[in-house]
Structure 1
Amino acid sequence: MRIATTIFLTDETITPVRLARELEQRGYAGLYLPEHTHIPVARTTPYGAGGELPPEYGRMLDPFVALAQAAAVTSTLRLGTGVTLVAQHDPIALAKRIATLDHVSGGRFTLGVGFGWNVEEAADHGVDWSTRRELVRDRMRLMRALWSPEPRAFEGEHASVSASFAHPKPRDGAPRTLVGGAAGPKLFAHIAEYGDGWMPVGGRGMGESVPKLRDAWTAAGRDPKSLEVVPYAVRPSPGKLAHYEDQGVTEVVLQLPPGGELEVLRALDEYARYL
């Protein structure tokens, strides 16, 4: 089982360069970074974990810039987003950014796709909350058109692009794509259509959900052996990781504290027993 990590990198935490070097030297498999462009002060969307929204949500670094720094100082560490809020991006520009990061990292990039949870943040980006899933679906199809070997147009309800020259291309035609979100038929349909697997936060309820995802996956004609389930932002224990292994999990993403160098390095030392 590959042991990767995630962290809210901010202007007050350990730097992307120092963290990436430490992860690779210690034998960790990857680094995934979350995304929020901003957090409106006047907000009504509740924080999913309860209580006040932690301050790091409004201070986090842009994941693509931070991951580019990490790519430049490592050679084997996998890099990913957990997750990219696709609805909040111009898909043509996002396709270029993703392909470029995949190219400069030597194909080490994983695209985590999310639909968002903060209604106010999405609204500032002009997102109609009720149709955001369909918007993300169209934008993913548009990006794949730009990544195709030959110029290919895409015309969708929420996004379109003319047949275009667009380079670089992701190494394998499209980056490894993991879709985040709560279990359910709509999410599983998205995963089966354009994903390589599911990125469930915390990994709770996988014993019940994974078989349903596998059913949706095979019904869509996907190879049963190719489905990936990558539990994300996990607080580890030996029993928890053993349970994931029983579910066929080959990668897990552990949550690091949003702290300075000493705090983060202590956490890496503590997690080292799971490597």
Structure 2
Amino acid sequence: MNVGLFALGIGTGARPGAILKTAAEAERRGISTLWVGEHVVLFDRQDSKYPYAESGEFPLPGGADWLDPFITLTFAAAVTETIRLATGICLVPEHNPLVLAKEVASLDRLSGGRFALGVGIGWSAEEFAALGIPFERRAQRTREYIEVMRLLWSEDAATFHGEFVNFDAAKCFPKPVRGGKLPIIFGGESGPALKRTADVGNAWFGFNVGPDDAAPLAEKLRAMLKSKGRDASEVEIIVSPYTKKITVDDLKKYGDAGVNELVIITSPPEDESQIGGWIEKIAREWVEPAGKLS
């Protein structure tokens, strides 16, 4: 089982030196993926409920540093060669899909084909309103945008006419290294989120999934994949415990559930000179034991 790291782009992980040092050290010590999340604007108060807190309160204040994930990952790509780079997650319906297709392809080409697009539909109605984008039908908008981007990444001249997007003979170059097969990873733990993965995703990223939660969700996803005639072994299962406290003994439960990558969420130390030791500790506690699982 692989171990990914969600630590960059926010707070102490938003500093240039911290990004460069963390990326280089994470690659050196065998961390499989660098994940960076996205919010364009934050609020000190909002009516929308954050789905991963019992209180519904978002854990960061409106004034928290939060970098754009594509710029952050491009910065990290410049000092790495093999580690996967992924959004965890990109709020796809908040973007123009043609602009997003260009950003994704650019990052993927500059990183040598190491990028995976982690996708979410969003939960903050206030953020959508601030951007002037309807909150309603965001799931349908996301599906259409994914279809549009895959078409742009695949076709020499793409034509599309849908509910939200319309264009004729549009050319978008360069293409991602894998073209339209660039991995799409869907986030979310609900039935509709799992269905999106089963329908068109290459991987699923479950957030706030404890060791006892992983197996039921994975089995549900595998059943959906089977019903679609898809090979479940070709769809990666990625989870993060987030607020759930886990120990090294829980790695086996995740492995038995079929989890391919466990994502550790943490922050770089304030003192950038301590980043090497911090990554070493993550490697000893999580990467090395996870790598020993058969």
Is the contact between residue 83 and residue 114 of structure 2 (CA under 8 Å) also seen in structure 1?
A: yes
Match of 1:124 among 114, 120, 130: 130
Deviation for aligned residue 1:53: 2.9
* Corresponding position: 1:182 with 2:182: no
Is the contact between residue 21 and residue 275 of structure 2 (CA under 8 Å) also seen in structure 1?
A: no
Is the contact between residue 196 and residue 226 of structure 1 (CA under 8 Å) also seen in structure 2?
A: yes
CA deviation string 1:48-76 (max 9, x = no partner)? 32356323884211111111011111111
Match of 1:257 among 255, 267, 270: 267
Deviation for aligned residue 1:266: 5.0
2:112 is aligned to 106
* Structure 2 unaligned residues grouped into runs of 5+: 288-294
Is the contact between residue 43 and residue 62 of structure 2 (CA under 8 Å) also seen in structure 1?
A: no
Is the contact between residue 83 and residue 113 of structure 1 (CA under 8 Å) also seen in structure 2?
A: yes
CA distance 1:220–1:57, shift in 2 (3 Å):
farther
1:55 is aligned to 61
1:232 is aligned to 240
Match of 1:73 among 56, 68, 79: 79
TM-score by length of 2: 0.85
CA distance 1:209–1:57, shift in 2 (3 Å):
farther
2:280 is aligned to 269
Is the contact between residue 22 and residue 268 of structure 2 (CA under 8 Å) also seen in structure 1?
A: no
* Corresponding position: 1:45 with 2:52: no
Is the contact between residue 5 and residue 32 of structure 1 (CA under 8 Å) also seen in structure 2?
A: yes
CA distance 1:181–1:126, shift in 2 (3 Å):
same
Is the contact between residue 238 and residue 261 of structure 2 (CA under 8 Å) also seen in structure 1?
A: yes
Is the contact between residue 8 and residue 56 of structure 1 (CA under 8 Å) also seen in structure 2?
A: no
Deviation for aligned residue 1:25: 2.0
The root-mean-square deviation of aligned C-alpha atoms, in Å, is 2.1
Matches within 5 A, 1:71-220: 71-173=77-179, 174-184=181-191, 186-204=192-210, 205-220=213-228
SS in 2 for 1:231: strand
Deviation for aligned residue 1:267: 4.0
CA distance 1:132–1:258, shift in 2 (3 Å):
farther
Is the contact between residue 20 and residue 31 of structure 1 (CA under 8 Å) also seen in structure 2?
A: yes
Matches within 5 A, 1:18-33: 18-33=21-36
* Corresponding position: 1:16 with 2:27: no
CA distance 1:270–1:258, shift in 2 (3 Å):
closer
One-letter identity of the residue aligned with 1:176: P
CA distance 1:11–1:228, shift in 2 (3 Å):
closer
One-letter identity of the residue aligned with 1:240: D
Deviation for aligned residue 1:125: 1.8
TM-score by length of 1: 0.91
One-letter identity of the residue aligned with 2:22: L
Larger mean Cα displacement after TM superposition, 87-96 or 159-168 = 159-168
SS in 1 for 2:136: helix
CA deviation string 1:110-163 (max 9, x = no partner)? 110011111101121223222110011111111111011432212111223322
CA deviation string 1:248-273 (max 9, x = no partner)? 12212111126423675554233222
CA distance in 1, matches of 2:122, 2:257: 27
SS in 1 for 2:230: coil
2:7 is aligned to 7
* Structure 1 unaligned residues grouped into runs of 5+: none
How many positions carry a matched residue from both structures? 274
Deviation for aligned residue 1:41: 4.0
CA distance 1:201–1:262, shift in 2 (3 Å):
farther
